[in-house]
Structure 1
Amino acid sequence: MMRKAALALITSAAAVGAAGVALAGPASAATSPAAVCGSGYSVIDHKALTGSTVYLLWNGSSGRNCVVTVKTTSVGTKTRTGAYLYVQGSSPIDDTDSYAYYAGPVSAPAVGKCVQWGGGTNNQFWYSGWTHCT
């Protein structure tokens, strides 16, 4: 929850920055899906939807996948937003609630497994088939 509050402040600052106020470099870096998932994660796939973008990330050091859904509309307003990760042979993990900026992160070990991933907002939800088998 602390990361979501920090990202909310940074995202608000980014909106002000878009209006013409200069921002420091680290603030924009913290709004990335990799910053939400944590150190060592890189985006390996994404799905742009109406109202959000869902990101699938991988951390090669820990062997974990992570999913984050970042809102692109109604940013700052709490709406139904979700992130979903299902690792083959495990139970699905879902973080769906009313969020102002993003849902997730949801993460799980996935070495040697296929994953299904997805998420979205009230505007549109999407889920992959089995993919990214490692």
Structure 2
Amino acid sequence: MTIIRRATAIGATVTATACAALALAPAAAAAPKAAAPKAAAAQYNGACGSGYSVVNSAQIGTKGTVFLTYNSATGKNCVVTVRTTPGKAVHMTASLGFASPTTTVTDTGYFTTYAGPVYLDARGLCVTWRGEISGEVAGKNGTNCGTLAADRH
């Protein structure tokens, strides 16, 4: 399998959050704390190509999202891991596999924007898929099962 890596340098806007100093006050007089804003999830970038639709995803903390896609015309699954905010190259992985027979395809390396795509024909099988960004991992085991054929001769 030949994997084409796309690692484009993209200028990222950095936003700094300053912490305001809090005056000490009795607990009863303290203002209620505001909930921290939820990090925006990365968007699927179309890296798997035409005919692939997102069928599942898992957020990798605030760093990005791993997407599982499927092409019904070819019966192939594809996985791509996308960073929320592209920047300096970091260690990333996109992985896709199934249990019987044990098969896994992985793209791993240092990327600025995304890892993958990796493809696997898993018609009639459940897939296990993962994404990793800078040591943080997300994914799912044995999901998106196709209709299992009763007779697989």
TM-score w.r.t. length of structure 2: 0.66
1:32 shift after superposition: 3.6
Q: 1: distance between equivalents of 2:67 and 2:88?
A: 20
Residue 77 in 1 paired to residue 101 in 2? no
Residue 68 in 1 paired to residue 80 in 2? yes
Q: Return the match for 2:109 from 81, 85, 97.
A: 97
Query: Matched residue pairs, number?
Result: 113
Alpha-carbon RMSD across the aligned residues, in angstroms, is 2.2
Higher alpha-carbon deviation: 121-130 or 63-72: 121-130
Q: 2: distance between equivalents of 1:129 and 1:92?
A: 12
Q: Tell which structure's C-alpha radius of gyration is larger.
A: 2
Q: Return the match for 2:121 from 106, 109, 122.
A: 109
**What is the identity percentage for the equivalent residue pairs of Structure 1 and Structure 2?**
36
Q: 2: distance between equivalents of 1:103 and 1:2?
A: 10
1:120 shift after superposition: 1.8
TM-score w.r.t. length of structure 1: 0.74
Tell me the equivalent position of 1:22: none
Q: Secondary structure at the match of 2:87?
A: coil
1:91 shift after superposition: 1.6
Q: 2: distance between equivalents of 1:110 and 1:85?
A: 10
Tell me the equivalent position of 1:40: 51
Tell me the equivalent position of 1:21: none
Q: 2: distance between equivalents of 1:82 and 1:3?
A: 12
Q: Secondary structure at the match of 2:51?
A: coil
1:87 shift after superposition: 2.5
Q: 2: distance between equivalents of 1:39 and 1:3?
A: 18
Q: 1: distance between equivalents of 2:90 and 2:73?
A: 34
- Name stretches of at least 5 consecutive residues in structure 1 with no aligned partner: 17-30
Q: 2: distance between equivalents of 1:94 and 1:77?
A: 21
Q: 2: distance between equivalents of 1:52 and 1:42?
A: 18
Q: 2: distance between equivalents of 1:2 and 1:119?
A: 17
Structure ranking higher in helix proportion? 1
- Name stretches of at least 5 consecutive residues in structure 2 with no aligned partner: 14-42, 147-153
Q: Secondary structure at the match of 1:92?
A: strand
